[in-house]
Chains A and B, each alone.
Chain A
Amino acid sequence: MKLWRNNLLHLAKIIILSILDALAVWSATILFTEHKYIFLSVLIIVTVIINFIYLSKKTYALRYILPGTFFMILLVVYPIIYTVYVSFTNYGTGNILTKPQVINQIENRYYLPEDTEGFSFEAYKLPDQKEYAVLLKNEEGKLYLAIEEKVTEVTEADSRFVDQDNDGKIDMIGNYEHLDRAQLFKNLSVLQNLEFSLNDNILKMKSISQFSLYRQQYKYVEAEDKIIDLKNNISYFPQEGSFTSPEGEKLMPGYRTYLGWKNYFTLFTDSRVSGPFLRVFIWTFEWAILSVLTTFVLGLFLAILLNDKTLKFRKIYRVILILPYALPAFISVLIWRGLLNTEVGVINQILNTLSLQSIPWLQSVFWSRFALVVINLWLGFPYMMLISLGSLQSISGELYEAASIDGASAWQRFKFITLPLILVSLGPLLISSFAFNFNNFNVIYLFNEGGPPIVGAQTPAGGTDILISYTYRLSFESGRGADFGLASTVSIIIFMITAVITWFNFKYTGALEEVKENV
């Protein structure tokens, strides 16, 4: 029985591995046909590693760690690395495609030369199919037949032509039937998109009665890496992701390309970008500091009050006071947003009944920042109260007794005993809280989408935007183009700040050593 169960487990493992491998092979063929060789090689390597880990005895422990690690590498590590890459590019609206895609697109543009040749035409269509043939006649009376994507010169005696009623008009070409004027209009949308190449030019429909020879306008010269405008005889050279003429005129669209440190320079030196960025940067720090400070002061004060064992109702107080922490933050913020609505919000109505003026909570930079700090105080003080309570309980009562005997006042006891001891034990948590609020996207964005807008800013930076919401708006704000490159650059800056905070936290607390020793 036991043996059977062991075998069953083994069998299950083999089956799951086989399914994974089958999926991998299937994906590999798709990637191969789509010429995505980098993804293909990654897929092969990963599949081999997975198989090795689950089949080799040496890697037994890794079998347990692999599932979680797999997702971590794919969705945390890889995106971080990719963010670094994107921050060095111009990826974004107007620069989405790769260079070959853009060249291909531009080379497919045509213009109508002044000396163009006009053709009168008759169109033919296979019954019940969207296949067309066009019989063209140029000004000199030469006939051309455009059929199955090829154009050939023909004579009226061509064997495929059928003139059933002998009126001199050809009624059928092979199985293709002639389209009269009404049918022509019906099929206009398809006919307009027909393109045939003839002598390096393109035959396209110009009007309902005419085809014309169009000429390719742009040609890419690989040797010199430039695009020539054949019509105006201008050369466009690649410059920061766009083919640009010597006069500075750009061919749209641009392509995505490596820019080096340009995004970083723009962020810090281009005054139209760096001005708003600096505002956002400074407010992010102010916001994080104010958040930690206000919540900690209120939380600690409440904790000291509740820590008094002689206080009546302290248990009930505690339960009520942690209620704001129990609610999902996104819902609380949206509720506050309603209460603080300038025109119809409850808070302004209360102010009005007290014959005070309405406050523009969502329209003024100062008041929306003020409101945000109050909202975050509401959201965050229970957490600070809870951790302070925990920490207060670990302070020995003897210390206070000794202080009392020495004649210390309540304030002195707080200043010289409670605060220093609490700061030692809660320091790391306060730093974590700082890091958390530094990236507290939900509160900032759900309250006011980072607004009110800064007037005249080149980028979508608002009065209450912090770095993370600024990144979000750079990439995903509808209405403006996305600038993934610049957004990633801001992300990288947040990464570095987070790294510094973390390093400081570890150094301050020795948490690093603790982790390493306990493993």
Chain B
Amino acid sequence: MYRKQDKKTKIFKHIFIWLVIAFALFPLVWTLSAALNPANTLINQKLIPQNASLTNFKYLFNNTQHPFPIWLWNSVKISFITSFIAVSMTALAAYPFSRFKFRGRRNGLFVILLIQIFPQMLAMVAIYLLFLNIQEVLPAFGLNTHPAIITIYLGGAIGVNTWLMKGYLDTIPTSLEEAAYIDGASKFQAFYRIILPLARPILAVLFVLQFIATYSEYILASIILNSNQKYTLAVGLHLFISDMYSNRWGVFSAAALLGALPIVILFMLVQKYIVHGLIGGAVKG
């Protein structure tokens, strides 16, 4: 690198990178092509479809057996509510660790971190049985309900995120709150009116990370939800594709592209923070 590179090395580098790019784009290009191909089959698919059309997308929105729009909406709804509540709870939990002196402060955050190292899905059997029992007493929170799956996701709300949040709050000077106290604000008001607005960037990043993770979750959703109208996109698409793969390839491709779109946009928005957060040890689901 600190010697003058000869031309051959340079060309080799570009060729290698292009090969990897081909590998990276290959599935995406085929999916796009299939989505636009009205033939709707895997057989004899050409890379550039003849008479490209949006037939597959239209079919997607008029299919009662596999209600894609409902799945997409369920996923967005569940992810949004989960992320909103989770980020609120994270902000609340991180604040005292950053500001207050209290007993158990040193070990508290550490215990939270330690517990959340174990993925929640390991306890899937117990979670299933728990909601089976809840169903008998409180059907609105039982199996096959959205409140149930949101509640389950909230179990993992505080954890690494609390740690990241606390780190950010530590960088906000305490003099701001002290000024607020002098003006007669209560502790909660100082938190709510002074600190939260300042922490907006980290709140947004954590929200997006939580949203992506919730949107992509499959295993717990598949255990809890069991009817066509309640499925999330992950559960629904899996079913859709297992039913009749080759016959609906075009429709599936359209669904895959539309389903991926919100996440790709969100990811690009916070990309720089995610890259930063990666170093902190957060892994995207």
List residues of chain A with CB under 8 Å of any chain B CB.
Answer: 2, 5-6, 9, 27, 30-31, 34, 60-62, 64-65, 67-69, 71-72, 74-80, 82-83, 86, 91, 298, 302, 305-306, 308, 310-312, 317, 320-332, 334-339, 341, 343-346, 349, 378, 381-383, 386-387, 390, 397, 400-401, 404, 410, 413, 428-429, 432-433, 436, 439, 441-442, 445-446, 449, 468, 471-472, 475-476, 484, 487-488, 491, 494-495, 498-499, 502, 512, 515-516, 518-519
A-B contact pairs, 6 of them (CB 8 A): A68-B89, A335-B28, A335-B256, A339-B27, A341-B42, A344-B249
CB-based contact B216/A338 at 8 Å = no
B200 at the interface (CB under 8 A from A): no
Given A72-B157, A76-B123, are A498 and B238 also a contact pair (CB < 8 Å)? Answer: no
User: B48-56, B63-71, B93-101, B171-179: which lies at the A interface?
Assistant: B93-101
Chain A minimum-CB-distance residue to B9:
A410
Chain B minimum-CB-distance residue to A322:
B271
B182 at the interface (CB under 8 A from A): no
CB-based contact A311/B260 at 8 Å = no
CA distance A382 to B268 in the complex (A): 14
CA distance A319 to B284 in the complex (A): 17
Given A308-B13, A320-B24, A476-B223, are A328 and B260 also a contact pair (CB < 8 Å)? Answer: yes
Q: Which of the residues A320, A329, A345, A476 comes within 8 Å of B216, measured between beta carbons?
A: A329
Q: Which residues of A contact B156 (CB under 8 A)?
A: 72, 75-76
Q: Which of the residues B89, B108, B267 comes within 8 Å of A67, measured between beta carbons?
A: B89
Q: Which residues of B contact A308 (CB under 8 A)?
A: 1, 13
CB-based contact A83/B126 at 8 Å = yes
CB-based contact B120/A345 at 8 Å = no
Q: Which residues of B contact A397 (CB under 8 A)?
A: 2
How many whole Å from B125's CB to the nearest CB in chain A? 5
CA distance A453 to B156 in the complex (A): 33
Interface bits B210-254 vs A (CB < 8 Å: 1, else 0): 001001101100110000000000100110011001100100110
CB-based contact B117/A71 at 8 Å = no
Chain A minimum-CB-distance residue to B242:
A449
Given A401-B2, A491-B125, are A439 and B119 also a contact pair (CB < 8 Å)? Answer: yes
List residues of chain B with CB under 8 Å of any chain A CB.
Answer: 1-3, 5, 10, 13-14, 16-17, 20-21, 23-25, 27-28, 30-31, 41-43, 45, 88-90, 92-93, 95-97, 100, 102, 105-106, 108-110, 112-113, 115-130, 137-138, 151-152, 154-159, 162-163, 166-167, 184-189, 191, 212, 215-216, 218-219, 222-223, 234, 237-238, 241-242, 245-246, 249, 252-253, 256, 259-260, 263-264, 267-268, 271, 275, 278-279, 281, 283-285
Q: Which residues of A contact B234 (CB under 8 A)?
A: 328, 330
Chain B minimum-CB-distance residue to A469:
B219
Q: Which residues of B contact A69 (CB under 8 A)?
A: 93, 112, 158
CB-based contact B158/A79 at 8 Å = no
Given A9-B186, A67-B92, are A302 and B279 also a contact pair (CB < 8 Å)? Answer: no
CB-based contact A9/B188 at 8 Å = yes
Number of A-B contacts (CB under 8 A): 286
How many whole Å from B166's CB to the nearest CB in chain A? 8
Q: Which of the residues A2, A75, A475, A495 comes within 8 Å of B155, measured between beta carbons?
A: A75
Interface residue SS majority, chain A: helix
Given A298-B20, A390-B279, are A71 and B151 also a contact pair (CB < 8 Å)? Answer: yes
CB-based contact B137/A390 at 8 Å = no
Q: Which residues of A contact B90 (CB under 8 A)?
A: 68
User: Which among A82, A328, A404, A502 has the highest number of chain B CB atoms within 10 Å?
Assistant: A328
CB-based contact B121/A65 at 8 Å = no
How many whole Å from B268's CB to the nearest CB in chain A? 7
Q: Which residues of A contact B108 (CB under 8 A)?
A: 65, 519
Closest 4 CB pairs of A and B: A75-B155, A68-B158, A79-B123, A79-B126
Q: Known contacts A76-B155, A335-B28; can you find 15 more A-B pairs with CB under 8 A?
A: A310-B5, A311-B13, A320-B25, A328-B263, A338-B252, A343-B246, A346-B30, A378-B24, A429-B278, A432-B283, A442-B285, A471-B124, A472-B124, A476-B222, A476-B223
CB-based contact A338/B24 at 8 Å = no
Q: Which of the residues B45, B122, B252, B268 comes within 8 Å of A468, measured between beta carbons?
A: B122
Q: Which residues of B contact A312 (CB under 8 A)?
A: 14
Q: Which residues of A contact B95 (CB under 8 A)?
A: 64
How many whole Å from B148's CB to the nearest CB in chain A? 10
CB-based contact A323/B137 at 8 Å = no
CA distance A426 to B43 in the complex (A): 44
CA distance A308 to B284 in the complex (A): 27
How many whole Å from A101's CB to the nearest CB in chain B? 13
CA distance A494 to B124 in the complex (A): 13
CA distance A336 to B245 in the complex (A): 12
CB-based contact B106/A487 at 8 Å = no
Chain B minimum-CB-distance residue to A30:
B137
Q: Which residues of A contact B92 (CB under 8 A)?
A: 64-65, 67-68
User: Which among A76, A78, A476 has the highest number of chain B CB atoms within 10 Å?
Assistant: A76
CA distance A332 to B41 in the complex (A): 19
CA distance A105 to B189 in the complex (A): 60
CA distance A305 to B20 in the complex (A): 12
Q: Which residues of B contact A502 (CB under 8 A)?
A: 117
User: Which among B2, B20, B123 has the highest number of chain A CB atoms within 10 Å?
Assistant: B123
CB-based contact B122/A491 at 8 Å = yes
Q: Which residues of B contact A30 (CB under 8 A)?
A: 137
Given A9-B189, A31-B137, A323-B28, are A75 and B13 also a contact pair (CB < 8 Å)? Answer: no
CB-based contact A321/B24 at 8 Å = yes
Q: Which residues of B contact A2 (CB under 8 A)?
A: 184-185
Q: Which residues of B contact A74 (CB under 8 A)?
A: 155
CB-based contact A82/B123 at 8 Å = yes
How many whole Å from A287's CB to the nearest CB in chain B? 16
Given A72-B155, A75-B152, A387-B278, are A441 and B123 also a contact pair (CB < 8 Å)? Answer: no
User: Which among A31, A75, A312 has the highest number of chain B CB atoms within 10 Å?
Assistant: A75
Given A67-B89, A75-B155, are A330 and B113 also a contact pair (CB < 8 Å)? Answer: no
CB-based contact A498/B117 at 8 Å = yes
Q: Which residues of B contact A429 (CB under 8 A)?
A: 278-279, 281
Chain A minimum-CB-distance residue to B262:
A328
Q: Which residues of A contact B245 (CB under 8 A)?
A: 337-338, 341, 344
CB-based contact A442/B263 at 8 Å = no
How many whole Å from B151's CB to the nearest CB in chain A? 7
CB-based contact A498/B118 at 8 Å = yes
CB-based contact A34/B137 at 8 Å = yes
Q: Which residues of B contact A518 (CB under 8 A)?
A: 167
CB-based contact A328/B278 at 8 Å = no
CA distance A285 to B130 in the complex (A): 31
CA distance A433 to B185 in the complex (A): 45
How many whole Å from A28's CB to the nearest CB in chain B? 11
Q: Which of the residues B109, B113, B215, B238 comes within 8 Å of A446, measured between beta carbons?
A: B238
Chain B minimum-CB-distance residue to A515:
B110
CB-based contact A86/B102 at 8 Å = no
CA distance A397 to B30 in the complex (A): 42
Q: Which of the residues A60, A302, A330, A344 comes within 8 Å of B100, measured between beta carbons?
A: A60
Given A61-B100, A61-B102, A471-B124, are A323 and B129 also a contact pair (CB < 8 Å)? Answer: no
How many whole Å from A95's CB to the nearest CB in chain B? 13
CA distance A75 to B112 in the complex (A): 13
Given A328-B216, A433-B283, are A475 and B124 also a contact pair (CB < 8 Å)? Answer: yes
